[in-house]
Each structure stands twice: as C-alpha cells, then as structure tokens.
Amino acid sequence: MGREPDPPSSSPSVSSGEAAPAARKPLKGRFGERYQEKHEHIRGRGLISSSALGLADGLITNLSFLTGFGGAISDINLIRFAGLAAMLAGAVSMFFGGILGARSELDLYTADSRREAFEIDNEREEEIQELKNLYVDKGLTEAEAETVVGRVSANKDRFLEDMLVNELHIHRSHLERPYKVGIVIGLSFLVGALVPLVPYYLTAEKTYSLPASVVFSLAFLFAAGAWKGRIVGRHAWRSGLETLLIGAVATAILFVIGTAFVFV
C-alpha cells in the first residue's frame, strides 16, 4: 500500500523565501494572559514638539530678521554680526523659556496629583463613583465599570494614576525633564537660525547672499516640515508646504518693513 499523505497542518503555511509574520508573544500579567503591543508608538512626543518648534522658530526668526535688516543695511559685515547676535540671543532665550515652560507643566501636574490624592483620601466614595461614570461614558455597563473600578481602586497609586489619566488626561510619562526640553529647544533654535546666516558668510556681497539665504532657508523649511509630517502621520508634502508658506509670509513682511524703514 502507498504511504498516506500527511494531514494538513493547523498553522498557516509559509512559502519558501517568505518570512513568517512575527507573532505577538503572550505575556503573563496579574489578571491573566495579555499580548505585547506589536505596533511602535511615537516616543518622546514632547521633545519632538520642542525640536520642531525650536527649529522652525530659529529659522523663521533669523531669516525674517536678516531679510528685513538686509533690506535696510548695505554693509554685509554688519549684517553678519547682527545675524550672529540674534541667533545666540534667541537660542539662550529659547533654552530658558523651554526650561520654564516644562517646569510649569511639571508643577501643574504635581499640584493636580496632590489634589486628586487628597480627594481620594477624604472623598473616596465620590471619587470611585466619578471614575465609574467615566468608564460608563466610555461604553462599559454599570456592572463592568463596577468590576474595573473595584480592581483599580484597591491600589491607591493605581487609583490616582487612573483618575489623572481619565479625568485630567495627563500622565507623568508624557512630561519631559525641564533641562532636557530647554537643551533640545535651544539647540534646535541654534541650528534653525544658522541656516539663513550661512550664505552671508559664503558670499562677499549682499546682492548674492540675500536671495541665497531666502532660497536655502525656504528649502530647509520645506524639508523640516516634511520631516515633521512623516513623524506625525501627515502627508509630507502638505506639512512641508505649510511650513514653507509660513516662513515665506514672515520673510516678506519683515523685508517690506526693513526696506521701508531704516531701523539702525
């Protein structure tokens, strides 16, 4: 008798040379088996936002300043010095501004956390009912919300964290360290402000350096906007065009002001 064919495998077949899809590995949790997230999320949202702000702010600020200043001043050495001074002053200002802004967010989070902790200690039943209502609003039944809140509220730290996330929509992990934010936004401003200044050091005459600075800066703005768009999931060309138009409008306004009024 001939050999009977093997029974078909219960797992999906993979053709030769084709990589099998990566399986989501089960993880053991406190409430049973759960699966590891297979999609990567954007990390360091605050730092990405700070870098994009610093880069765009530095470039647009110095480009607008140099264009307006160049429209009123013919001495290229004076334009170079003014651009360098504006770049350094802006970077220092953004560094300390970033620190103060991040510190303010951290202080607000701390104050909210203390207030919620006080309410949990002194108005526990009201807070439990408030959290139940939040879960019911999300689509859970009364019984399901009762079960979830019962487990969450059994641990004070977890209860506090859940209240902050669901009621105030804030989480400690989303807050960056103030000095890190200051460094990122300050350095980003420095890099952005350097872009329109470089052509003034590469050419000896304002006649060539001014248009070169504008073209180079607008191209860099488009690239920076496209990069930001790819990170946040928007169309790269649309985000780049939006950033470019903002820079172009700001530059045109300052150029008109600079050529109309001599501000020295």
Q: State residue 187's pLDDT score.
A: 94
The answer to the question of residue 34 being in a domain is: no
Instruction: Give me the pLDDT at residue 186, please.
Output: 93
- Residue listed under structure tokens 């001043």: 73
> What does the block give as tokens for 41?
């999320």
- In this structure, is residue 107 part of a structural domain? yes
Tell me, yes or no, whether 85 lies in a domain. yes
Residues in Cβ contact with 124 at an 8 Å cutoff, skipping those fewer than 6 apart:
153
Fill in the amino acid letter for 224.
A
Return d(Cα 232, Cα 235) in angstroms, integer. 9
Residue 71 placed within a domain: yes
Rg of the chain over all Cα atoms, to the nearest angstrom: 28
Tokens of 119: 């309410």
Is 221 among the domain residues? yes
Q: What is the pLDDT of residue 174?
A: 63
Q: What's the structural domain count of the chain?
A: 1
Amino acid at 59: L
Q: What local confidence, expressed as pLDDT, does residue 189 receive?
A: 94
Give me the domain span that covers residue 243: 45-259
Give me the torsion for CA of 159, 161, 162, 163, rounded to 10°: 90
Residue 3 lies in a domain: no
Give the torsion through C-alpha atoms of 233, 237, 241, 242, to 10 deg: -20
- Give kind and range of the element (H or E) at residue 259: helix 236-260
Q: What are phi and psi of 33, to 5 degrees?
A: -85, 135
| Confidence (pLDDT) at 95 | 94
pLDDT in the model for residue 165 = 82
Residue 258 pLDDT = 66
Instruction: Please report the pLDDT score of residue 227 as a whole number.
Output: 78
182 domain residue, yes or no: yes
Query: Residue 145 corresponds to which tokens in the numbers above?
Result: 């919300």
What is the pLDDT, as a whole number, of residue 237?
Answer: 86
What pLDDT is stored for residue 50 in this prediction?
79
Q: Give mean pLDDT in consecutive 10-residue pieces for the chain, a chain of 264 residues.
A: 46 41 47 47 60 84 83 84 93 93 86 88 88 87 88 86 79 75 92 92 84 88 81 79 84 74 52
Cβ atoms of residues 112 and 98 within 8 Å:
no
Q: 145 near 153, Cβ under 8 Å?
A: no
Query: In this structure, is residue 23 part of a structural domain?
Result: no
